[in-house]
Structure 1
Amino acid sequence: MKIRSIALALAATAALSLGTVSTASAAPAAQQAAKPTIVLLHGAFEDASAWSKVTQRLQHDGYPVVAPAVPLRGPVPDRDAVKGAVEAIKGPKILVGHSYGGAIVTELASGPDVKALVYVAAFIPREGETVGDLNAQFPGSQLGPDTSHTVESPDGPELFVNTDKFRQVIAADVTAAEAAVGAAGQRPILASAFTDKVTTTAPDSIREYAIVATQDRAIAPAAEEFMAERAHAAITKVRSAHDLPVSHPQTVAAVIEKAATAS
């Protein structure tokens, strides 16, 4: 009986020791598993649903994702509209902008805990620049009076892409039916958003990544490449039309995850 009691005591001690080791090692593992929040900012003529396929992939890989609605009123009003929601996110975050959303990413870049910026077929402006001027510097954009129209609103003229030109300008890589859905649900942007100046330049200390859509007809591909090189961004080129998050979500998600895991 005495031998049995000693054996039981030894077994209990070993189990306790193993339990202690397991608990201690679990804490660092949990810390290592923590991932930055990915903030997805959509561009003109779309809403947050444009990020749906990218969001699904990121969430599948364990990333928290926030995709707020951008009012499309201008770089500064849009920055102010989403700033509170972005700054309320605890811990590190990666800001991602598509198209005009790149201007909002730039305006938010100096916020707390921003670790990297990802520009997806997007504008990467500097202080004092406008997205309209940046796009006009290079040939290749088909967004203009022949493919778009304005309507009056209480805030001023709002810009729409003509329904019959939407696929040509924005969504050439998806089916005609998918492009028609996008055209029907497009959200207008104030025309003045293209002429309002951006008020800041993203800090050099923050890592930047850019995906250039080489078949883009909304933003001139040469403009995308110029801005990305000027920002010293890590560049990925994709043979794609403007709607990269819809037509190439896997590639977009991969670049975002690269930005999130880089040291």
Structure 2
Amino acid sequence: MRRCREAADLTQRQLGEIVNYTGSLIGQIETARKVPTLEFSERVDAALGTGGLLSRLVQLVLRSQLPAWFREVAELQARATEIYSFELGMVPGLLQTQAYARAVLGAIDQRGLDDRTAVRMARQRIFDKEQPPLFWVVLSETALVQQIGGYEVMREQLAHLLALGGSPQINVQVLPFSAGAHAGMTGSFDVYRFAGDPTIVYTEGYGSAHPTASPDTVKDCSLRYDHLQAAALSLKDSAELIRRAMEDRYGEQVA
């Protein structure tokens, strides 16, 4: 980035003013003290006329920062044509706001939190592709109740879910508490479908991922997902429950 900036005869401060970031941040990124976000890299690419070079490099850097066990999953998400997700306790990473993601990732470890949050947000760029995947999530009502990051963060996150629900590619169903015992009680899981490749089921443990294309596992989890969709509220009723939680549980708080 420094070479491109200098070739354009711009100081760090001047480039910062053009892309609406501080010159100090420009310097930190040029000296590898901070990892840029994709939004930052796209602005710099536009300002310097680099043809998307910086954005491509940043994507490689962000991908390299993923845990080794998760890189394969990130690749699956990037290649999938359909993703079916069941989440037991929180909003899935592909639908998280930045503040919510930061609260989740920082709950145990604050080290490198800015960079880890940037990595998580970068994964959501799969929805910006010319042909984005179909993403269907069944979300336990627990995710609406579990307060992560405070009232403002939760309100913003639930509003984000409602906004995403207006997309034909993203569908959000809520599995209400009234459903009782259900097919997902053993834990969260994802089903990835591809054009021409075998379907893969993914489950996640502590510090490890478990992707498998075993026909028996795929059949079992696909059946479980069918049951979860049937037990969940309709898309319309799910949106209404999310809206009520946002307004009643996380509305304006009076001191």
Quickly name the TM-score band, shorter chain normalised. Answer: under 0.3
TM-score by length of 1: 0.26
Rg comparison, structure with higher value: 1
Which protein has greater RCO, CA pairs closer than 8 Å, 6+ apart? 1
